[in-house]
Amino acid sequence: MNQDWREKIEQEAELTLAEAVVLDEEIERLEPMRHALQALPSDELSLQWRSQLNERLAAEAKPMPARRNVFALWPVAVSGLAACALAMALFAPRGGSAPTASTENSVEARLVRSHQEFQNARDLGVAAPTTPVVAPPSSGGFDWSTLEKGS
């Protein structure tokens, strides 16, 4: 085979009819060699040889340092942050502003002061209202006879 044919075959270009005939004759001439090669026993590598090769390679190989997977910590960190945010939202004291009055002796200031004193006393367990409690009406209920009759 000449160099032109080899390039045509490698590039899978079309051969002329004369070139195809000559190529077929060359292949037929090499047919006995192909049969001789096929008749040779195959030398397959034994598993023992492969095992010995693997052991030698493992002995010569440098051990790789263990790599820490940084991305494995992300789920733990995110869930921890979410738990902290939820705890802060649920258990943090509410920052409500207390009502204030414009002057110290106004009605609003006295009501606020009275309410705060009562709350403090109740929190301490000594709640005694500073104002008298009005007794409920008699057990008879409301007296409907005192109402005027409409005309």
* Residue-level pLDDT at 98: 62
| pLDDT single digits (tens) 89-115 | 888 877 666 656 567 778 888 888 888
* Residue-level pLDDT at 84: 93
| pLDDT single digits (tens) 13-68 | 888 888 888 888 888 888 887 777 777 777 676 788 888 888 998 888 887 777 77
The three-state (H, E, C) secondary structure of the chain, written as one string:
CCHHHHHHHHHCCCCCHHHHHHHHHHHHHCHHHHHHHHHCCCCCCCHHHHHHHHHHHHHHCCCCCCCCCHHHHHHHHHHHHHHHHHHHHHHCCCCCCCCCCCCCCCHHHHHHHHHHHHHHHHHHCCCCCCCCCCCCCCCCCCCHHHCCCCC
